[in-house]
Amino acid sequence: MSVTERIEELRSLLAPARREGRSIGFVPTMGYLHAGHLTLMQRAREENDVVVASIFVNPLQFGPKEDYQRYPRDLARDAELAREAGVDFIFAPSVEEMYPQEMLAQVDVARITDRLEGAARPGHFRGVATVVAKLFNIVQPDRAYFGQKDYQQLLVIRRMVRDLSYPIEVVAVPTVREEDGLAMSSRNSYLNPQERQAATVLIRALRLGRERIESGERNAQRVRTAMQELIAQEPLARLEYLSIADPETLREQETITAPAFLSLAVFIGKTRLIDNLLIETL
Ligand code: PAF
């Protein structure tokens, strides 16, 4: 496995594979890898001749009050884990390599970024779409792998790929969870033991919502209220948003119809966590 910081070097390393018509799978990450990332890498390994992973904590997608500075970083550990997962090339650029000057060209995906994470984190998806567009141009993969935990990000990338005609298949991979249901996230490393316990409130609320729907409740507001009440019982949790929406448009549902997309963002102490469940049939 090779690790490079340089755009030009990665291009040269990938040139032979491209010339020989070998397929390239790409897993973009911000590093501090966990089992969720490794699942994406293993899937890319199964489906492609060559696997590239990027590790780049992208400043463009963090708001001024967010955790860009303290976001966990450990390239040596990540490189070892990625190698074990079958990655061939790691691209780990510096901020100067990716953004040597102010980025006057950025990618905006309209409308589906107005809600949920887009509303809570202004500018976030512009930063994500811009870095992913740039990474796609650098790596030029045949397939790119994204986790369903960041479901809205997946919608944004899919739409960008379609609208801008990237010849890339976007592959969605189910969320990987800890035994108690907490979705894997690099940000879980911020949680102290009490907070880690409290963080299960996200999946408990989502499962409660699903149970209510499965037992016949069709009034979305009543389901939201039940979920909010459960979260309110957890003293370390502060709900930011909770949504039952159409999974394509992300518009809120009044009467629940399938498919329904349940999602939420909750602060556990100072750590902001997100999670979601998709209900495909009723
Ligand atoms: O999901 C992430 O880790 C990031 O948003 C991504 C896709 C690597 C872009 O920085």
Q: Is 124 a catalytic residue?
A: no
The pTM of the full predicted model, rounded to 2 decimals, is 0.97
In short, whether 130's Cβ falls inside 6 Å of ligand 1 is: no
Choosing from 103, 150, 170, 171 the residue with most ligand 1 atoms within 8 A of its CB, the one to mutate for a pocket test is 150
Confidence (pLDDT) at 170? 99
Nearest residue (by CA) to ligand 1, atom 9, is: 128
Q: Where are the domains of the chain?
A: 2-173, 186-279
33 lines ligand 1 (CB under 6 A): no
CB atoms within 10 A of CB 43: 19
Put the strands of the sheet holding 2-4 in their side by side order. 2-4, 89-91, 50-55, 24-29, 143-147, 169-173
Which residue's structure tokens are 């069709």?
A: 218
Per-residue pLDDT of the chain (282 residues; tens, 9 = 90+): 999 999 999 999 999 999 999 999 999 999 999 999 999 999 999 999 999 999 999 999 999 999 999 999 999 999 999 999 999 999 999 999 999 999 999 999 999 999 999 999 999 999 999 999 999 999 999 999 999 999 999 999 999 999 999 999 999 999 999 999 999 999 999 999 999 999 999 999 999 999 999 999 999 999 999 999 999 999 999 999 999 999 999 999 999 999 999 999 999 999 999 999 999 998
Nearest partner of 160 among 117, 122, 130, judged by Cα? 130
Ligand 1 center from residue 215 Cα (angstroms): 36
Task: Give residue 230 CA to ligand 1 midpoint distance, Å.
Answer: 30
Candidate CATH numbers 3.40.50.620, 3.30.980.10, 3.30.200.20, 3.30.420.40; the one for domain 2-173: 3.40.50.620
Domains 2-173 and 186-279 equal at CATH topology level: no
Do the beta carbons of residue 130 and residue 160 sit within 8 Å? no
**Domain 186-279 classification at class level:** alpha beta
Stated as kind and residue range, the H or E segment containing 173 is strand 169-173
What is the phi/psi pair of residue 169, to 5°? -90, 125
The answer to whether the CB of 113 is under 6 A from ligand 1 is: no
Task: Return all residues near 15 (Cβ < 8 A) that are at least 6 apart.
Answer: none
140: alpha, beta or left? (left if phi > 0; alpha if psi -120 to 50): left
What pLDDT score was predicted for residue 14? 98
Cα separation values, 45 from 14, 28, 51, 87, 213, Å: 16, 14, 6, 7, 37
**CB of residue 39 inside a 6 A radius of ligand 1:** no
Model pLDDT, residue 258: 96
The pick from 128, 151, 175 for probing ligand 1's pocket by mutation, whose C-beta has the most ligand atoms within 8 angstroms, reads 128
* Best mutation site among 68, 131, 161 for ligand 1 pocket (most ligand atoms within 8 Å of CB): 131
Helix (H) or strand (E) holding 260: strand 260-268
